[in-house]
Amino acid sequence: MSFLIGENMTGGYGGADILKGCTVDVDEGEIAVIVGPNGAGKSTAMRAMLGMLELKSGSVRFRGKEITHLSTQARIAEGIAFVPQTNNVFVNMTVLENLEMGAFLRQDDFRETIEQVFELFPILAEKQNQLAGELSGGQRQQVAFGRALMSQPRVLMLDEPTAGVSPIVMDDLFERILEVRQSGVAILMVEQNARQALSIADKGFVLVIGENRHTDTGAALLADPEVKRSFLGG
Amino acid sequence: METITDFINAFVLLLNFILVPGLAYGSQIALGALGITLVYGILRFANFAHGDTMAFGTMVTILVTWWLQSLGITFGLLPTALLALPAGIVATVLILLITDKLVYQHYRRVKTPAVTLLIVSMGVMFMMNGIVRFIIGPNDQRFLDGERFIIHARSFKAMTGLNEGLSIKVSQGITIFIAILLVVALFWFLQKTRTGKAMRAYSDNEDLALLSGVNPDRVVLITWIIVAILATVAGTLYGLDKSFKPFTYLQLLLPMFAAAIVGGVGNPIGAILGGFVIAFSELIVTYAYKKVFVYLLPVSLEPSNLMQLLSTDYKFAVSFFILVLVLLIKPTGILKGNVI
């Protein structure tokens, strides 16, 4: 049984169904990557698992517990954190305040977690009193990542964490994602850079128009000639 | 020697008719604009009912003041209204929370566009306006008691031997004092407390605040409570300084909105800055400078008219003009705010 699973998910935002019975799951200490062409419903699948859209059918289970009808807020409280692709920092708040907001639901002392985030992203320690809105795209992405880690989540969902950042920053972010996996967090992410993402993935899901096309380990998908031809540009 | 005295006299005139009243009026507008900016930043609509919310809070304060006076309770040298203020605040908190439950909550649930909410708030404005007129009537009410002046013009003249007097009213003194106190408390709350940070986060990025576990209902509740405090205090201070008349409070909407927008709507520091910009612009443009020039210029150049740029009847045109100017040149306001 998977740690977090969205099974046979069907639904969309009103209108036509974007998801047509797709299944995505992730286990502790594992990186699962959702790849696929534009409009395949990659982000939608992730949002459905967060409760940001109503499913017509299918279910979402977390640690064996049915959470299909829980609100997003309740799922966050259960230990799922999400980094949206855009607008993922509080631009008028300092880096430190952004991190504090990530720990909003925690009642215990979270200074240690702040130190851990600073260790992971040293640039944030340097800029802790600067407004997040004044940072570069890559640094913002780090703030967003750090904010999500502050809640000490069991599952971390990342929606295209490397969109719009330079290749160097991208490599660095992937490094950090691997480090976070070490601590036993389940990581589920949607990525445009399919090749690189699959290379660090334990599990990959190739979605096409809301359905699972291929599901295998990252390495196996990278080696699959059909996946290569259709989705990785040969 | 003569010229220095003339110069000082001119200076005292400006202090007495522009600086002191400007600081008091500016504080009142700033407190009102803060309420408008908080509603805009957090609840995301332009609240046209704010002027009448101020009138409602002031009305309750006045009624409780009269009741206290009838019992023979006064506040010594200070106005009794200050004792009644907490009652006015509680009543305003209640009416705002009831309004939110009955009206705004529904529109929030269905995610109504801000423009629709603006119209809704006009409906609330008319209701609130009706309630106030129904209870206390449309006429002028005076409720200031206690000592009138901190410095009286006559004693200032006797003290300094100048021709011109400087007077500072008690109502002006307490306006500035309470405004500073309230603003410091508000900023401490927004910057330092967990709830304050949650409010700023919600105003900054609603979706991300929800993803961080901020409870939107609580943010809305706290916002209305703060707005009620600001509105009642601003209204009561204005009423003490000038007088209370429901229609005047409706008219105050223009300078208050102008202040919020000029400063950068949604930005609390901007609202305060905007309040003083509007207040001083009104006074500077509508003051009759004849006496000042009489002191400063030689007799041969003495002005023959009042040297007034604009009649006080047109003071609202000043807010309007500044508002239009800012919207044309810098729609985000002096300090960067949202675009309305």
How confident is the model over A33-44, as pLDDT tens digits?
A: 999 888 889 999
Tell me what pLDDT residue B296 has.
86
Tell me what pLDDT residue B339 has.
55
Both tokens of B170, joined, read 């008690």
Nearest to A76 among B197, B198, B213 (CB): B213
Tell me what pLDDT residue A141 has.
92
Q: Whole-model pTM?
A: 0.91
Helices (H), A66-121: 72-78, 95-102, 111-120
Average pLDDT over every residue of A89-112: 94
Average pLDDT over every residue of A127-136: 94
What is the DSSP code (8-state) at residue A193? -
Decide: A152 and A113 in contact? Cβ < 8 Å.
Answer: yes
Decide: B149 and B73 in contact? Cβ < 8 Å.
Answer: no
**Inter-chain contact B213–A104, Cβ cutoff 8 Å?**
yes
Decide: A192 and A199 in contact? Cβ < 8 Å.
Answer: no
Percent of chain A with pLDDT strictly greater than 90: 75
Tell me what pLDDT residue B2 has.
61
**Mean model confidence pLDDT for chain B:** 93
**Inter-chain contact B212–A92, Cβ cutoff 8 Å?**
no
Q: What is the pLDDT of residues B240-293, one digit of tens each?
A: 999 999 999 999 999 999 999 999 988 899 999 999 999 999 999 999 898 888
Both tokens of A202, joined, read 């334990």
Per-residue buried b or exposed e for B34-51, using 16+ beta carbons within 10 Å of the residue's own CB: bbbbbbbbbbbbbbbbbb
CA-nearest residue of chain A to B204?
A90
Separation CA B340–CA B255 (nearest Å): 16
Residues within 8 A of A (CB atoms), B 122-161 only: none
What is the DSSP code (8-state) at residue B39? I
**Inter-chain contact A104–B200, Cβ cutoff 8 Å?**
no
**Inter-chain contact B214–A104, Cβ cutoff 8 Å?**
yes
- Please check the confidence at residue B338 and state whether its pLDDT lies above 80: no
Q: What is the pLDDT of residues B96-133, one digit of tens each?
A: 999 999 999 999 999 899 999 999 999 999 999 999 99
A77 lies within 8 A of chain B by CB:
yes
Decide: A142 and A121 in contact? Cβ < 8 Å.
Answer: yes
Average pLDDT over every residue of B33-49: 95
Separation CA B158–CA B19 (nearest Å): 21
**Helix (H), strand (E) at residue B322:** helix B315-329
A164 contacts: CB under 8 Å, gap ≥ 6: A137
- Please check the confidence at residue B337 and state whether its pLDDT lies above 80: no
Tell me what pLDDT residue B149 has.
92
- Please check the confidence at residue B199 and state whether its pLDDT lies above 80: yes
Nearest to B200 among A73, A81, A93 (CB): A93
Q: Residue B107 burial by CB count (10 A; 0-12/13-18/19+): exposed, middle or buried?
A: middle
A216 lies within 8 A of chain B by CB:
no
- The pairs formed by B157-164 with CB atoms below 8 angstroms and a separation of 24 or more are B162/B5, B162/B8, B162/B9, B162/B12, B163/B9, B164/B9, B164/B10, B164/B12, B164/B13, B164/B16, B164/B291
CA-nearest residue of chain B to A93?
B201
Phi, psi at B244, each rounded to 5°: -100, 120
* Positions of E strands within chain B: 149-151, 168-169
**Inter-chain contact B200–A90, Cβ cutoff 8 Å?**
yes
Tell me what pLDDT residue B83 has.
96
Tell me what pLDDT residue B1 has.
47
Chain A residues near residue B212 by CB distance under 8 angstroms: 76, 101-102, 104-105, 147, 151
Tell me what pLDDT residue B100 has.
97
Chain B residues near residue A104 by CB distance under 8 angstroms: 194, 198, 201, 212-214
CA-based nearest residue to A53, from A44, A40, A65: A44
CA-nearest residue of chain A to B205?
A90
Tell me what pLDDT residue B334 has.
84
Percent of chain B with pLDDT strictly greater than 90: 76
* Residue entry with tokens 């309770």: B73
Average pLDDT over every residue of A125-153: 94
For residues A62 and B297, which has the higher predicted lDDT (pLDDT)? A62
What is the DSSP code (8-state) at residue B244? B
**Inter-chain contact A93–B194, Cβ cutoff 8 Å?**
no
